[in-house]
C-alpha cells in the first residue's frame, strides 16, 4: 500500500508540470497582438502567402491572439531581417516573413546586411518550397531558353539581394544566357507592370506559384513564355508543359554545385521566423501551430482560391537546411557568389 501510495504521488507530481505547461501555453498569448512582419511589398507573392498564413495561424495558437500583418520591404527582406534581429521583441509576438535572399545573403553576398545572422533565427516553418522560373512576354522574340542563349533580352529585376536580379545573373554566368539586367524595381508587381508596358522582355527568379497567383490571365491567355524551371527537382506541372530544367544547360561541375547551393534556398521559399532569444516553449508553440495550419482545410481552400501552392516543411527541418547550406565549402561558396553577380 505504501508503494502504491508513493507511485500515485509520483504520477501526480509528474502530471502537474504538464498541466501547468498547457495552462501557461493557453495563457501566454491570450489577449495579445502578434505582428506578422512581411519583408516585401504589398501585392507580391510573399505578401500574398504571409497574409493568408496570418489569417489562419491564430486558430492553432493557444489563446487565439490577434495577428496583424505589416509590410517592411527593402533590400530583399534584409531591412525586415535587421528589425527582427535587433529591434523586435524576443517574446514570440513578432513573426517575420523573409525572402530566401535575406537568409542566404550573408553566405553569398559580401555586401549583404550585417544587421542579422540568419542561422540564429528560430525557424517556424515554410509554406512552400517551390520552383522558380524565367519567363518572357508573348511579344518578346525570346520564346525558348535556346533563344536566350543566342540573342539578348532586357530582363527586369529588383535591387541587390532580390531573387530576380540574382537569378538573371546566375543564368548569364552558369549557362551563357544573354540577359541584359535592368535592376531597381521595387518588387514583382512593379516588374510585371514594366513587362506589360514593354520596358522589359521578362524576368527570372519568380516562383511558379507566384506567377499563377499574380497573373493567372497571363498563363490562361498564353501571354507568357515560361522558358526554364529552376529547382533541385523537376516541377511536375512545368515538366508536363515541356519547360526544361536548368541542369542540361550548365557548362561545368563547379558551376553545377554553385547553382545547387543557390537553388537550395528555395527549400525555404516562404519561411517564417522569430527573433533569436525567443523562449524555447514559445518557439515550440508556434512551430506546432504552423504545422497544423498547413494541414487546415480552410487554409488550403484559401490557398487554392489564391492559386498559391503549399509544399510545407517544419521549422525543425528548415533550421537544419539553413545551418547546412551555411556550412558549404569555401570553393563552392565563392563560385556561387560570382554566379549571382550582375
Is residue 7's pLDDT more than 70?
A: no
Those residues whose C-beta lies under 8 Å from the C-beta of residue 94, and which sit 6 or more positions away, are: 34, 35, 37, 84, 88, 274, 275
pLDDT tens-digit map of 189-218: 899 999 999 999 999 999 998 899 889 999
In the chain, the percentage of residues whose pLDDT exceeds 70 is 91
Angstrom distance (rounded) from CA 259 to CA 254: 9
| Identical topology for domains 18-129+266-339 and 132-264 | yes
The model's confidence at residue 159, banded by pLDDT at 50, 70 and 90, is confident
Domain spanning 18-129+266-339: which superfamily? Bordetella uptake gene, domain 1 (3.40.190.150)
3-state SS class at 211: helix
Angstrom distance (rounded) from CA 196 to CA 217: 12
Instruction: Map out the domains of the chain as residue ranges.
Output: 18-129+266-339, 132-264
The Cβ of residue 240 has, within 10 Å, a number of other Cβ atoms equal to 9
pLDDT, residue 50, reads: 97
Q: How long, in residues, is the chain?
A: 342
Residue 124: name the closest of 188, 63, 60, 77 by CA.
60
- Average pLDDT for residues 2-31, to the nearest whole number? 53
| CATH class for the region spanning 132-264 | alpha beta
DSSP 8-state class, residue 202: E
pLDDT, residue 18, reads: 37
In the chain, the percentage of residues whose pLDDT exceeds 90 is 71
Handedness of CA 252, 253, 257, 263 (dihedral sign): positive
Dihedral-angle region of residue 151 (phi above 0 means left; psi in -120 to 50 means alpha; beta otherwise): beta
- Angle between the N-to-C axes of helices 100-108 and 330-339, in degrees from 0 to 180, rounded to the nearest 10: 120
pLDDT tens-digit map of 75-95: 889 999 999 999 999 999 999
Amino acid at each position: 500500500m505504501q508503494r502504491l501510495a508513493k507511485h500515485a504521488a509520483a504520477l501526480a507530481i509528474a502530471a502537474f508540470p504538464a498541466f501547468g505547461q498547457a495552462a501557461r501555453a493557453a495563457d501566454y498569448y491570450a489577449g495579445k497582438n502578434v505582428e506578422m512582419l512581411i519583408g516585401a511589398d504589398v501585392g507580391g507573392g510573399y505578401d500574398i502567402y504571409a497574409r493568408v498564413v496570418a489569417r489562419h495561424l491564430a486558430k492553432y495558437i493557444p489563446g487565439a491572439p490577434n495577428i496583424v500583418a505589416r509590410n517592411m520591404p527593402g533590400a530583399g527582406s534584409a531591412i525586415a531581417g535587421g528589425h527582427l534581429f535587433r529591434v523586435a521583441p524576443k517574446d514570440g509576438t513578432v513573426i517575420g516573413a523573409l525572402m530566401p535572399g535575406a537568409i542566404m545573403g550573408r553566405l553569398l553576398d559580401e555586401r549583404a546586411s550585417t544587421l542579422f545572422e540568419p542561422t540564429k533565427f528560430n525557424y517556424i516553418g515554410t509554406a512552400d518550397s517551390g520552383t522558380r522560373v524565367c519567363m518572357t512576354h508573348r511579344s518578346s522574340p525570346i520564346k525558348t531558353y535556346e533563344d536566350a542563349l543566342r540573342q539578348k533580352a532586357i530582363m527586369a529585376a529588383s535591387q541587390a539581394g532580390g531573387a530576380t536580379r540574382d537569378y538573371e545573373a546566375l543564368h548569364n554566368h552558369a549557362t551563357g544566357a544573354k540577359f541584359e539586367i535592368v535592376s531597381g524595381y521595387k518588387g514583382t508587381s512593379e516588374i510585371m507592370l514594366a513587362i506589360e508596358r514593354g520596358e522589359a522582355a521578362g524576368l527570372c527568379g519568380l516562383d511558379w506559384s507566384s506567377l499563377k497567383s499574380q497573373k493567372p490571365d497571363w498563363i490562361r491567355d498564353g501571354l507568357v513564355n515560361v522558358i526554364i524551371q529552376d529547382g533541385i527537382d523537376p516541377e511536375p506541372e512545368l515538366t508536363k508543359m515541356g519547360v526544361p530544367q536548368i541542369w542540361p544547360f550548365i557548362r561545368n561541375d563547379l558551376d553545377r554545385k554553385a547553382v545547387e547551393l543557390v537553388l537550395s534556398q528555395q527549400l525555404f521559399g516562404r519561411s517564417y521566423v522569430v527573433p533569436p532569444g525567443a523562449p524555447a516553449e514559445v518557439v515550440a508553440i508556434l512551430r506546432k501551430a504552423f504545422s497544423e495550419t498547413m494541414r487546415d482545410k480552410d487554409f488550403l481552400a484559401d490557398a487554392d482560391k489564391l492559386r498559391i501552392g503549399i509544399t510545407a516543411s517544419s521549422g525543425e527541418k528548415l533550421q537544419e537546411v539553413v545551418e547546412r547550406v551555411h556550412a558549404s565549402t569555401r570553393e563552392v561558396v565563392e563560385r556561387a557568389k560570382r554566379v549571382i553577380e550582375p
